[in-house]
Amino acid sequence: MATTVLIVDDHPGFRATARALLEAEGFDVIGEAETAVQALQAARELQPDIVLLDVQLPDLDGFEVAERLTVNGTGPTVVITSSRDRTDFGPLVSRSGARGFIPKGELSGQAIAELLETPV
């Protein structure tokens, strides 16, 4: 059974490309969200394995959404993404409860798979 993914980003162009890319590599994209509120609702309803979460959202920032999703150690695996570099965020990624960070330019199914395989 394919790994399910929820893509959260306010740019429709990025969501479309990311969906195409991940589906081409065997992921099952089960939903998309534009805002933090939509993201939290969709995660609750769809129960995806992975949430691909952009940092910059119109309402809340991605780290706060990640915290809420991973509270109590339950919930989906959160992968933070951004067009900025990882070094722009420092320890924010690990503190937010997210599994890891992938720059948008380097996004691929394999990159996500590698991140999932690294021990927590």
Residues that bind other proteins (CB under 8 A): 11, 13-14, 17-18, 20-21, 24-25, 56, 83-84, 104-105, 107-108
Burial of 36 (0-12, 13-18, 19+ CB in 10 A): buried
- Rg of the Cα trace of the chain? 13
**Cα distance between residue 94 and residue 2, in whole Å:** 26
For the record, the structure tokens of 42 come out as: 């969709």
In whole angstroms, the minimum distance from the beta carbon of 13 to other proteins comes to: 5
**Cα distance between residue 52 and residue 17, in whole Å:** 13
Which of 69/107 has CB closer to other proteins? 107
Which of 68/104 has CB closer to other proteins? 104
Which of 24/71 has CB closer to other proteins? 24
**Cα distance between residue 47 and residue 19, in whole Å:** 17
In whole angstroms, the minimum distance from the beta carbon of 20 to other proteins comes to: 6
In whole angstroms, the minimum distance from the beta carbon of 26 to other proteins comes to: 11
In whole angstroms, the minimum distance from the beta carbon of 44 to other proteins comes to: 28
Which of 13/90 has CB closer to other proteins? 13
